[in-house]
């Protein structure tokens, strides 16, 4: 490609967004930011637009006007759209970018989880491409370069285990918001940090991996690796396992998402072998962290189940962060909403409806609990 890659950055004020700008800041000759969007943080958005020379009609707030995400994601001049919006709100941008045949650097996992089959159909029809930004999926994307798709036996997603690794269910009855936000290895936005504490994040990533790489749920394994150095592994049919290792720094997968198949000519998070110490691996505790089991089950059910899981979880996490429910209640609420049935999703309106119904049901379950 001649000239700098033109980047549309959605969710620019968040953890992914600001780290993406950090990558671009040190590669100004290779990337040109042509549009920015965020939810409500007008002050930071304006500062970012000024720094990166983005005109004011291309630096927009989606909090009050959600349609700007779709508009910017399909800008004709964009070479790559980085979707760093949090939650289901990112779905229209994912669909718009792929419909327009763009390269989509995808951090917003909720859109792929809720609408996987629909997103993949749009990806095929529009000729767009998804490069994963989630560190685990970026690792798998990299490891897959070592063999043919038909040679893949299984993939392994690593999980740090979050702040509550090793605690029993009884001990988890009393954990609070600050405890759950204290992630041991990654610094991320609040929603994904809570998801990491419940292992719902890993569950969502299992569904994300299924949608991205076309592997069955039986081929996806989760292993707890507290050091967060090995991000993902692929085992091939001859027994060889290829892993990707780096210190926990999202700028590496963001850089690859923007530039793939080329790697960034700057190292973020290289492993220092003289200081790394011991790397350990253990199975997840499914009794203390039932969200992982719920996500596997929803993924296997398919249809509207992943959208229901993700939508109910978003509402439950918001309620936990607002101090309305206990940490253990997050999994219980998602489970209860899933029990109501989940239906099919054949198109975007179906996905929107599955999400809407899940949110209403989750809110109802929460109100009943709060009132009890
Ligand atoms: N952070 C990580 O290291 C990491 C790693 C892997 C995957 N991810 C995924 O990346 C996504 C972003 O995570 P994050 O940690 O960066 O979240 P975050 O720090 O909370 O940032 C979220 C971004 O989305 C914007 N936003 C929120 N609601 C919006 C809406 N309705 N319309 C448009 N923009 C909206 C926010 O804008 P305002 O600031 O204006 O509200 C902010 O720019 C999530 O899907 C997460 O699972 C994150």
3-state secondary structure of 8: strand
CB 100: neighbour CB atoms within 10 A?
19
**Confidence (pLDDT) at 343:** 85
The per-residue pLDDT for 181 is 97
Classify strands 230-236 and 241-245 as parallel, antiparallel or unpaired: antiparallel
Query: CA–CA separation, 4 vs 29, rounded Å?
Result: 6
Asked whether residue 117 is assigned to any structural domain, the reply reads yes
Q: Give distance in angstroms: CA of 108 to centre of ligand 1.
A: 7
Q: For position 1, what pLDDT does the model report?
A: 59
Residues 197, 226: Cα–Cα separation, whole Å: 12
Q: Percent helix, strand and coil across the chain, each rounded to 5? A: 50, 15, 35
Do the domain assignments include residue 152?
A: no
pLDDT of residue 342: 84
Domain that holds residue 123: 5-132
Residues contacting residue 228 through CB under 8 Å, at least 6 positions apart: 158, 160, 185, 186, 247, 248
Strands (E) in the chain, as ranges, are 5-10, 31-38, 59-61, 80-83, 103-106, 129-132, 152-159, 220-224, 230-236, 241-245
Residue to substitute in 36, 39, 93 for testing ligand 1 pocket (most ligand atoms within 8 angstroms of CB): 39
Do 329 and 238 form a contact (C-beta atoms < 8 A)? no
Residue 319, CB-side half-sphere exposure with 13 Å CA sphere: 27
> 45 near 59, Cβ under 8 Å?
yes
Whichever domain contains 39, its CATH number is: 3.40.50.720
Distances (CA, A) of 6 to 36, 102, 259: 12, 11, 11
pLDDT computed for residue 160 by the predictor: 96
Number of folded domains that form the chain: 1
Separation of alpha carbons 145 and 327, rounded Å: 39
Residue 337 lies in a domain: no
Name the residue with the closest Cα to ligand 1, atom 45. 108
3-state secondary structure 115-178: HHHHHHHHHHHHCCEEEECCHHHHHHHHHHHHCCHHHEEEEEEEECCCCCCCCCCCHHHHCCHH
Please indicate whether residue 204, judged by its CB atom, sits closer than 6 Å to ligand 1. Answer: no
**Measured distance CA(44)–CA(80) in Å, rounded:** 22
Ligand 1 centroid to Cα of residue 30, in Å, is 24
Q: Could you tell me if residue 32 is inside a domain?
A: yes
- Maximum Cα–Cα distance for the chain, whole Å? 63
Residue 89 in contact with ligand 1 by CB distance below 6 A:
yes
Q: Tell me, yes or no, whether 46 lies in a domain.
A: yes
Residue 370's pLDDT is what?
93
Cα(306)–Cα(80) distance, integer angstroms:
27
In a domain, 38, yes or no: yes
Cα–Cα distance measured from residue 112 to residue 211, given in angstroms and rounded to the nearest whole number:
7
Residue 40: strand pairing partners: none
Give, for ligand 1, the residue of 68, 192, 196 to mutate: max count of ligand atoms closer than 8 Å to Cβ. 192
CB-CB neighbours of 181 under 10 Å: 15
109 lines ligand 1 (CB under 6 A): yes
* Nearby residues of 103 by Cβ (< 8 Å), 6 or more positions away: 79, 80, 81, 128, 129, 131, 260
Cα–ligand 1 centroid distance for 143 (angstroms): 26
Cα→Cα distances 38→53, 170, 201, Å: 16, 39, 22
* DSSP 8-state assignment for residue 263: P
Pocket test for ligand 1, best of 9, 13, 14 (most atoms within 8 A of CB): 14
CB of 271 closer than 8 Å to CB of 252: no
| pLDDT < 70 stretches in the chain | 1
Q: Is the CB of 11 under 6 A from ligand 1?
A: yes
pTM: 0.96
Is the CB–ligand 1 distance for residue 70 below 6 Å? no
**Assigned domain for 115 exists:** yes
Centre of ligand 1 to C-alpha 83, Å, is 9
Residue 116 lies in a domain: yes
């Amino acid at each position: 490609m001649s000239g700098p890659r033109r980047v549309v950055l959605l969710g620019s004020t968040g953890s992914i967004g600001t780290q993406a700008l950090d990558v671009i800041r040190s590669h100004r000759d290779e990337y040109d930011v042509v549009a920015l969007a965020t939810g409500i943080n007008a002050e930071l958005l304006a500062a970012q637009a000024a720094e990166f020379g983005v005109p004011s009609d291309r630096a927009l707030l989606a909090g009050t006007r959600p349609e700007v995400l779709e508009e910017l994601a399909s800008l004709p001049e964009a070479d790559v759209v980085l979707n760093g919006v949090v939650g289901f709100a990112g779905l229209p941008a994912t669909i718009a970018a792929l419909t327009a045949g763009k390269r989509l650097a995808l951090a917003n996992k909720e859109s792929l989880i809720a609408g996987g089959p629909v997103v993949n159909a749009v990806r095929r029809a529009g000729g767009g491409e998804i490069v994963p930004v989630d560190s685990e999926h970026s690792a798998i994307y990299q490891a897959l370069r070592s063999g043919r798709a038909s040679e893949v036996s299984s993939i392994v997603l690593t999980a740090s285990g979050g702040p509550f690794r090793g605690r029993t269910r009884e001990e988890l009855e009393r954990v609070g918001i600050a405890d759950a936000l204290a992630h041991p290895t990654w610094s991320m936005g609040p929603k994904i940090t809570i998801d990491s504490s419940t292992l719902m994040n890993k569950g969502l990533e299992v569904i994300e991996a299924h949608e991205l790489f076309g592997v069955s749920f039986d081929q996806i394994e989760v292993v707890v690796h507290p050091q967060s150095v090995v991000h993902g592994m692929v085992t091939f049919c001859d027994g060889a396992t290829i892993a990707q290792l780096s210190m926990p720094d999202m700028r590496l997968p963001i850089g690859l998402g923007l530039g793939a198949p080329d790697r960034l000519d700057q190292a973020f998070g290289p492993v220092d072998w003289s200081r790394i110490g011991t790397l350990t691996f253990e199975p997840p505790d499914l009794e203390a962290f039932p969200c992982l089991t719920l996500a596997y089950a929803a993924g296997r059910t398919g249809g509207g189940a992943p959208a229901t899981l993700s939508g109910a979880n978003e509402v439950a996490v918001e309620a936990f962060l607002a101090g309305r429910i206990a940490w253990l209640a997050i999994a219980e609420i998602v489970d209860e909403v899933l029990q109501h049935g989940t239906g099919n999703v054949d198109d975007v309106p179906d996905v929107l409806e599955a999400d809407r119904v899940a949110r209403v049901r989750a809110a109802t379950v929460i109100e009943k609990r709060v009132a009890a």
